[in-house]
Amino acid sequence: MYDINNMVAFELFDEFEETMLRKCVMFYSAIGSEIPPEKFDIDCIDSLTSYKIRTDLQPVLHKRDWFDLSAAQERVKGYDWS
């Protein structure tokens, strides 16, 4: 979620590279799961909690980096994945 949010927020993929962004999302889903998904369900990001961010993400970020979970969820869900 952190990386996908940054890729979308900083517009690292232009319209010609959107397929690559979708592939990156599927790759992240596959390596982060016990069972690789057949399809990425974007609504699953609603299940992320502040506690999960605090325990899993914050320890690997620089102290000055801030991650706004609700803003990231909105940004990623609002991206045109079609």
pTM confidence score? 0.78
**In the predicted model, is pLDDT for residue 49 greater than 90?**
yes
Phi, psi of 14 (to 5 degrees): -85, 180
Contact yes or no for 5/72 (Cβ under 8 A): yes
Residues 35, 11, 6, 46, CA torsion sign: negative
**In the predicted model, is pLDDT for residue 18 greater than 80?**
yes
Which of 16, 15, 20, 49 lies closest to 4 in space, CA to CA?
A: 20
Which of 50, 41, 40, 39 lies closest to 72 in space, CA to CA?
A: 50
Residue reference for tokens 């979620």: 1
**In the predicted model, is pLDDT for residue 82 greater than 80?**
no
Residue boundaries of the structural domains of the chain: 2-78
Residue 76 banded pLDDT, cuts 50, 70, 90: very high
The pLDDT score that the predictor gives to residue 31 is 87
